[in-house]
Amino acid sequence: MAAPYLSIIIPTLNEEGNIGKLLKQVKQQLNGYSNEIIVVDGGANGPSKDNTVKIAKSMGAKAIYDDKGKGSALIRGFKAAHGKIIISMDADLSHRPSELKLLISGIEAGYDICVGSRFMTGGGSSDMPPFRIFGNKVFVTLVNVLYGSRYTDMCYGYRSFSKESLKKMRLTEKGFGIETEINIKAQKAGLKVLEVPSFEKKRALGQGKLRSFNDGFIILKTIARNIGNG
Ligand SMILES: Nc1nc2c(ncn2[C@@H]2O[C@H](COP(=O)(O)OP(=O)(O)OP(=O)(O)O)[C@@H](O)[C@H]2O)c(=O)[nH]1
Ligand SMILES: [Mg+2]
């Protein structure tokens, strides 16, 4: 079978209230593009305890398993992807499927990576309490100063990639440091990155897994770990 043009990678952990609605909307947006949707399910306590995988499979998505965290799930999904363009997207309906075409066109226009930004004109968030906005600002500023980049957002997972760019970055972050690792390694590898405005909605149903302080610390360690090495 010919390789699909697009691969959509969705990490999931107990998202049964959201995944069906999301996949329906994604499929509507991707009508006309050859595509595969890969759900990477699981967490430290094993697979989702609810019907996430059952619903995803019934709607034509492939499901694979990973138990090491969101970053690990994304890396596994990226490796399993066959598409020329690969997109990462959350399962909780925070990311608007109507923005998929913008992310696709960024790669088609010749960029290696296209990242959604909640802090550009036209972007925004109804899912960020003030302390998360503050933390994100600190991380963006640190990365820009340390690595000479000009990002406006950091910890946001709605992104598109050319297949080659993913191979060049050799990603390793297992948890919520993955987006920061991508921003840093893309900059270090001299990849062409385009930020596009994105609006993040509140998680629709279910519980968020990010723990602001623990994961903030992990993000800081990600920033520190990448200083100097290559
Ligand atoms: N496979 C896998 N997916 C995860 C894990 N943790 C989170 N996810 C998924 O990653 C995406 C982002 O996680 P969220 O919990 O929504 O994180 P967040 O958006 O920062 O937090 P909220 O604002 O509370 O939603 C969602 O699709 C989750 O289901 C994990 O350990 N493993
Ligand atoms: Mg969320």
The CATH superfamily of 6-225 is Spore Coat Polysaccharide Biosynthesis Protein SpsA; Chain A (3.90.550.10)
- Cβ–ligand 1 distance for 42 under 6 Å, the answer yes
Average pLDDT of 14-23?
98
Tell me whether strands 113-117 and 159-162 are parallel, antiparallel or unpaired: antiparallel
Centroid of ligand 2 to alpha carbon of 164 (angstroms): 27
Angle of helix 178-188 relative to helix 130-147, nearest 10 degrees, comes to 20
User: In the chain, where are the structural domains located?
Assistant: 6-225
The residue with greater pLDDT, 127 or 142, is 142
According to DSSP, residue 155 is labeled S
Phi, psi of 11 (to 5 degrees): -75, 140
pLDDT value for 228? 73
> Which band of pLDDT confidence, cut at 50, 70 and 90, is reported for residue 229?
low
Phi, psi of 212 (to 5 degrees): -50, -45
Centroid of ligand 2 to alpha carbon of 95 (angstroms): 9
- pLDDT at 230 exceeding the cut of 70: no
Torsion of CA 146, 147, 153, 157, to 10 degrees: -120
User: What is the secondary structure of 18-59 as a DSSP string?
Assistant: THHHHHHHHHHHTTTS-EEEEEEE-BTTBS-SSSHHHHHHHT
Residue nearest (by alpha carbon) to ligand 1 atom 20: 210
Nearest to 169 by CA among 47, 75, 85: 75
- Cβ–ligand 1 distance for 108 under 6 Å, the answer no
- Cβ–ligand 1 distance for 40 under 6 Å, the answer yes
Percent of the chain with pLDDT over 70: 99
pLDDT, tens digit (0-9, with 9 covering 90-100), for 110-138? 999 999 999 999 999 998 999 999 999 99
> Which band of pLDDT confidence, cut at 50, 70 and 90, is reported for residue 19?
very high
- pLDDT at 7 exceeding the cut of 80: yes
Nearest to 74 by CA among 38, 98, 25, 105: 38
Answer yes or no: are the C-beta atoms of 115 and 196 closer than 8 Å: yes
Centroid of ligand 1 to alpha carbon of 146 (angstroms): 28
